[in-house]
Amino acid sequence: MRQTLQRQIILEYLKENRTHPTAEDVFEALRKEYPNLTLATVYRTLNTLADHGIILRFKVNNKYHFDGFNELHLHFYCQKCNRIFDLESKELNKDINSIIKKIEKSGKTINEYHIVFYGICEECNKN
Ligand SMILES: [Zn+2]
Ligand SMILES: [Zn+2]
């Protein structure tokens, strides 16, 4: 399979599934439809996309997860249902920007951040 096609397929999958999959998850989801795809290729493609800032890569429980929504945002990992949620709101973004400004006041520049909160999601808290 051509490299550009592999990239396209994997990127499309990530854009359509905002579940923050690992490389194994992506491979498992695509292998039936694309039997020529290998886990090594999926790894390489995901890491290349992340290196270029096209997708996000961050660690949860010592495993890398990937995110097609590449604007910096916060994540919440539910330790009960194992799902990773996006935390998005204008208010949160304002708070994060103010934290970044405070850090950068000392002369540092921040290029990326990966904040993951661990806890129990609202759905699991109801049960
Ligand atoms: Zn949950
Ligand atoms: Zn996300």
The alpha carbon of 107 and the centre of ligand 1 are apart by a number of angstroms equal to 39
Instruction: For residues 10 and 5, give the distance between their C-alpha atoms in angstroms, rounded to a whole number.
Output: 9
The alpha carbon of 53 and the centre of ligand 2 are apart by a number of angstroms equal to 14
Return the pLDDT at 70.
85
Return the pLDDT at 3.
81
Q: pLDDT tens across 16-60, in order?
A: 999 999 999 999 999 999 999 999 999 999 999 999 999 999 999
Element (H, E) at 112: none
- 74-126 has which CATH code? 3.30.1490.190
Q: pLDDT tens across 65-108, in order?
A: 999 998 888 999 999 999 999 998 889 989 999 999 999 999 99
Q: Which is it for the CA torsion 86, 78, 52, 6, positive or negative?
A: negative
Give the closest residue to 111 by CA, choosing from 56, 68, 43, 36. Answer: 56
The alpha carbon of 93 and the centre of ligand 2 are apart by a number of angstroms equal to 14
* Structural contact between residues 41 and 6, judged by C-beta atoms closer than 8 angstroms: yes
The alpha carbon of 115 and the centre of ligand 1 are apart by a number of angstroms equal to 18
Instruction: For residues 51 and 45, give the distance between their C-alpha atoms in angstroms, rounded to a whole number.
Output: 10
Question: Topology of 3-67 in CATH?
Answer: Arc Repressor Mutant, subunit A (1.10.10)
Residue spans per domain, the chain: 3-67, 74-126
The alpha carbon of 100 and the centre of ligand 2 are apart by a number of angstroms equal to 19
Q: What is the pTM of this model?
A: 0.89
Instruction: For residues 108 and 70, give the distance between their C-alpha atoms in angstroms, rounded to a whole number.
Output: 23
Residue 1 has pLDDT above 80, yes or no: no
Return the pLDDT at 72.
82
Q: Which ligand is nearest to the CA of 118?
A: 1
Q: Which ligand is nearest to the CA of 21?
A: 2
